[in-house]
Chain A
């Protein structure tokens, strides 16, 4: 039993080599030669110097991927960096790489590739916690990997990992149970090294439990030799050596310990060599040597425990950091959530305001159109029914006699009034360009007495204005002219049309009597018309000093 216990440390080391060997890269655009090589180094290092080279290689690749915002690729390289750090025993560094990789995985869209990668990362992270003797954390992570596992190989590896966690805690029954779960699905496991891993570990555990695990262990050795993996074959040999030592078969124990030493030389790893030599010392007849070994092991164990404590401390620190980071992230998330909800509220507010104004403008336009329609209907009625009838009566009297001259005169006045009302409120002919209508309007007010001068009328781009605008402008100018004709006695009228930025500015100016600007209905109507299309109108007048109006639309 004492050998078994000591061997756990070694077991862990060997175990690391198995992490996620099922993971296959899917990056077609990678320079595959060097990538393939370093990938193998990272997952199954055969000697120490390789590790350093591989680390610098993946570091470079990671930086490139990050610069190009290739998150999946960055994750991929981080995973290998984590794997390398794990192999060199720097669990803290490994954990950092892996946590960073998991953060990247949150930035990318879900894909089969990403899922696969995530599984590997989590598994490796679990291994890290396991090495740091954090059983709960490790098991929690492994459970998550198990959820992600899609095939038997994945599941078998996770079961193996969980089993090791139990073994480290000396809960051998649980450890065996986990491995038996893995064993039961072995027929479905396609990867031969994984099969070997399960067989070897289960066999070793069974034999410590008093069952015969030897066939399983030999089967594992057979597979590993066939695959030709040095470090794994070494593990098989050392397990066999420990098994035979346990059974008291020193000859066989020495045989396998020597074989393990051979392989450790091949691997050129001091720790493997140390392990192999340790096995041989255990088997040697030299009491001093054995005593030295026991003492050394216990010292090493103390060192290891201290290291583990330290690692755990580092881990706790990183955990603390992560929590701080997470709370910072959460804070930022909440802040951005607040900003977003603020923005949403603001947009809703803005949209409602805009909608309100649009609706109001539309409502105003509809109302304006209604006013215009009603006006023109009444105008036609005044024309057809009032003016025409007055005219009829007038003609009757005219034909009858000359005695009714005054009446006819008055009727004629009435007739003109009715006709003027009709003309003022009639529909502007929209089939005709507004320019023509306006010219006609102005021309019709030009008499022997009154000259009308116009500037810039033909330069206005009338096409951009809707019918309702054009009608309004027409009516407003018409009202100004009617006003002029009725009250001002002006002999000169000036219209200036000019563009003031995007706005149309119309200036009316006459040299008539002027008013004191007590507004009569005509001007009030004019104001209302301009306001209803969102324009402004200002009047400027003094008695005897003419009348001016400025319209901006």
Chain B
């Protein structure tokens, strides 16, 4: 599949122009441009009614506020409305924003097909994204590609701290297991303690348990 008819929605002329150039260099010539989200929505709706629908929207997220009363004041609002009304329309976000959760939200909850970050490699990545999205996959710029990976585990809890404290007293994992069992604390099995400690070692970038103790001590955790 290849995109034939594309709408570019960006409030900066020069950017819109550069996007158009990327599209043209990829053999897409049926291009229209808008500078406001409301305008973009109306254009897409009209095209649908005229039975000449767009098959791709490339949009920014942030728009200068207008003196008119905007119904849709941000790219996110436009996307939300479009995914309800025209679920078949492909959408690539071309934005300066690189917050992971925003990207994750748009891809997972709003069905956005591509997310390209505006920077000096933006044009190149945008070109790449056209092919990837056309082939039915999602495209993300490298700096936000973490958004699709599972959320990294940052949290630790009181139990973790208890484990490290016991380690710092020079106890072995077996002794820790016994200690926890004697206090009726769970989990106390050797394997789950091992699992926890391995995770902590990764989180604290520790080579071994002694290292883990020394690192956490330096950080003031224990």
**Chain A residues at the B interface, C-beta cutoff of 8 Å:** 380, 383-384, 387-389, 391-396, 398-399, 408-409, 411-412, 415-416, 419, 422, 436, 439-440, 442-444, 446, 451-455, 457-458, 491-492, 494, 496, 507, 509-511, 545-546, 548
Contact = CB atoms under 8 A, between A and B. Distances in A.
A451 B203 contact: yes
Interface stretch (B42-50, B149-157, B167-175, B176-184): B149-157
Interface of B: 11-12, 14-15, 18, 21, 62, 64, 96, 98-102, 118-120, 122-123, 151-152, 154-157, 160-161, 203-205, 215, 218-221
A389 B118 CA distance: 12
Nearest to B98: A444
A510 to B, nearest CB: 8
Given A415-B119, A453-B156, A454-B154, A444 B100 contact: yes
B99 A387 contact: no
A511 B219 contact: yes
Given A387-B96, A388-B15, A511-B219, A443 B152 contact: yes
A455 B155 contact: yes
A511 B21 contact: no
26 contacts: A384-B11, A391-B118, A391-B122, A395-B14, A395-B15, A395-B122, A396-B14, A398-B123, A412-B120, A415-B119, A440-B100, A440-B101, A443-B154, A453-B154, A455-B155, A455-B161, A457-B155, A492-B204, A492-B205, A492-B219, A494-B220, A494-B221, A509-B219, A509-B221, A545-B218, A548-B220
B62 A384 contact: yes
B120 to A, nearest CB: 4
Given A399-B18, A419-B96, A455-B157, A446 B152 contact: yes
A458 B155 contact: yes
Contacts of A388: 12, 15, 96
A455 B156 CA distance: 5
Contacts of A409: 120
Lowest 6 CB-CB distances: which A-B pairs, in order? A392-B14, A440-B101, A395-B18, A412-B120, A509-B219, A494-B219
Interface of A, secondary structure class, is: helix
A519 B161 CA distance: 32
A443 B157 CA distance: 18
A177 to B, nearest CB: 96
Contacts of B118: 391
Nearest to A419: B96
Contacts of B215: 492, 511
Contacts of B203: 451, 453
B204 A453 contact: yes
A432 to B, nearest CB: 9
A546 B219 CA distance: 8
A439 B62 contact: no
B14 A440 contact: no
Q: Which of B154, B155, B161 has the most CB of A within 10 A?
A: B154
A496 B221 CA distance: 8
B101 A439 contact: yes
Contacts of A394: 120
Nearest to A446: B152
B164 to A, nearest CB: 11
Contacts of B62: 380, 383-384
Contact of A436 (B101, B152, B154, B205): B101
Most buried by B among A389, A395, A492, A546: A395
Contacts, number: 103
A97 B21 CA distance: 113
A396 B62 CA distance: 21
Given A411-B120, A412-B119, A439-B101, 11 more contacts: A388-B12, A388-B15, A393-B14, A408-B120, A419-B96, A436-B101, A440-B100, A440-B102, A451-B205, A492-B205, A511-B215
Contacts of B123: 395, 398-399
Contacts of A455: 155-157, 160-161, 221
A442 to B, nearest CB: 6
A546 B204 contact: no
A442 B154 CA distance: 9
A391 B118 CA distance: 8
A511 B218 contact: yes
Nearest to B64: A384
Contacts of A548: 220
Contacts of B99: 440, 444
Contact of A396 (B18, B64, B102): B18
B198 to A, nearest CB: 14
A447 B154 CA distance: 12
Contacts of A422: 96
Contacts of B220: 494, 507, 509, 548
Contacts of A411: 120
B21 A399 contact: yes
A393 B18 CA distance: 11
A509 B204 CA distance: 12
Contacts of A458: 155
A443 B105 CA distance: 14
Contact of B15 (A380, A391, A415, A496): A391
A436 B99 CA distance: 12
Contacts of A452: 154
A451 B220 CA distance: 16
A552 to B, nearest CB: 15
B14 to A, nearest CB: 4
Contacts of A545: 218
Contacts of A380: 62
Contacts of A396: 14, 18
Contacts of A436: 101
A451 B102 CA distance: 21
A444 B123 CA distance: 23
Given A452-B154, A455-B157, A443 B100 contact: yes
Contacts of B120: 394, 398, 408-409, 411-412, 415
Nearest to B19: A395
A411 B219 CA distance: 38
Contacts of B218: 511, 545-546
B140 to A, nearest CB: 15
Contacts of B119: 391, 412, 415-416
B123 to A, nearest CB: 6
Contacts of B205: 451, 491-492
B204 A451 contact: yes
A458 B158 CA distance: 13
